Amino acid sequence: MIRSMTGFGTAAKEVDGARYVIEVRSLNSKYFKAVTRVPEELQGLEPELESAVASRLNRGSITVTVRFSDTSADAAAQINTNALQRYFDQLLDVPGVDHDTARIDVGALIALPGVVMSGTGEQMLEKAKPVLASLTQEACDKVLAMRSREGRGLHELLHTYRRQVVERLAVIAERAPKVVELYQERLRDRITVLLAENATAVSDDDLLREVAVYAERADIAEEVTRLQAHLEHFAEIIDADDGEPAGRTLDFLGQEMLREANTIAAKCLDAQISRLIVEVKGAIDRIKEQVQNVE
């Protein structure tokens, strides 16, 4: 069954006081394109997140958003006590400082270079890596489930438009042979009227030659056959249950169907067929519009 490219999935988990949330949004696009929005402290995992999403979602414009908050003790920055002690000792060695009355601003000491360390980044990444990997798969599962639901709606809609083309094409195929006969009758009547004043008549050979030229120019049997074949192939693809992406193939088939319909419209000047082929082209245009959202 075909799948849509539209989908959304989210997953969240709390581990040791740290909360992780990942959202995956998918929209239609000609190719696979991923945009990741990751907090600064977790940006080292960005390539792995994009790779994981690319392995699950074959086509579409994908936006991956990660939110992270850590309320555990591990979130606190580490104080370099050795550096702090060194600064303190240097202050005591400053000449003229009264050790009994001097006051030290702890906040100022903390702001000195090297006192506060943020060396827990690697540990944070190692801790977040398996959690985000699991959440990415869960979010992608939900995206694919939504894509499948949307795909069922697309499947029904595409079959509706396809049936419209098939029904009208059957009428066209039935009427096409009669077009030449009607042309022959109209041509004979017209020539007869024109030559009546001169008391002459057109020969059967001349008439048949003119009709043969018209028949060859207006023959649409080949185009009708090719269009019928495209429609059968189209049905096979949207009914297939192999899980393979089909959007590009369906888009190509839509172009080919429209090409054949345009050729039929150009070759056959019959009013009834012209009216039917306009409806056929309208249904094919709607098919082409809908397959733009098929994965």
| 203 phi-psi bin (left φ>0, alpha ψ -120 to 50, beta other) | beta
Reported as a pLDDT band with limits 50, 70 and 90, residue 18 is: confident
Residue 64: give its domain's CATH number: 3.30.230
Please give the average per-residue pLDDT across 175-182, as a whole number.
Answer: 71
**262 and 136 within one domain:** no
Number of domains in the chain: 3
Position 163 pLDDT exceeds 80:
yes
Q: Which of 117, 138, 172 corresponds to the end of one domain?
A: 117
Q: Is residue 231, in this structure, part of any structural domain at all?
A: yes
Q: Looking at the structure, do residues 144 and 165 belong to the same domain, yes or no?
A: no
In a domain, 194, yes or no: yes
pLDDT in tens, 222-253: 888 999 999 999 999 999 988 788 999 999 99
Answer yes or no: do 154 and 130 share one domain.
no
Out of 109, 133, 148, a domain closes at 148
Residue 107 lies in a domain: yes
* Distance of alpha carbon 63 from alpha carbon 24, whole angstroms: 6
276 & 186 share domain: yes
pLDDT tier at 83 (50, 70, 90 boundaries)?
confident
Domain contains 1: no
* 133 and 19 in a common domain: yes
**139, 157: one domain:** no
- With respect to residue 165, please indicate whether it lies within any of the assigned structural domains: yes
Contact between residue 179 and residue 273 where contact means Cβ atoms under 8 Å apart: yes
**Which of these, 23, 24, 4, lies nearest to 12 by C-alpha position?**
23
CATH number at residue 262: 1.20.120
Residues 140 and 60 in one domain: yes
In terms of domains, do 194 and 223 share one?
Answer: yes
Instruction: Please report the pLDDT score of residue 218 as a whole number.
Output: 61
**Minimal CA–CA distance to 267: which of 225, 226, 214, 230?**
214
- Top pLDDT among 192 and 221 is at 221
Indicate the average pLDDT of the chain.
83
Is 32 a residue whose pLDDT tops 80? yes
Expressed as residue numbers, the domain containing 63 is 7-74+120-148
- If asked whether residues 205 and 277 sit together in one domain, one would say yes
Query: Does residue 187 sit within a domain?
Result: yes
Same domain, 188 and 259: yes
Q: Per the domain annotation, does 2 fall within a domain? A: no
Residues 53-63 pLDDT 10s? 999 998 899 99
Specify whether 67 is located in the same domain as 103.
no
Same domain, yes or no, for 61 and 31? yes
Q: Is the pLDDT of residue 91 over 70?
A: yes
**Which residue, of 117, 136, 171, is where some domain finishes?**
117
Residue 93 pLDDT? 75
- Please compute Rg for the chain using Cα positions: 37
- Any idea what DSSP says for residue 41? G
* Structural contact between residues 110 and 79, judged by C-beta atoms closer than 8 angstroms: yes
**Phi, psi (deg, nearest 5) at residue 78:** -90, 140
How far is residue 193's CA from residue 214's CA, in Å, rounded to a whole number? 20
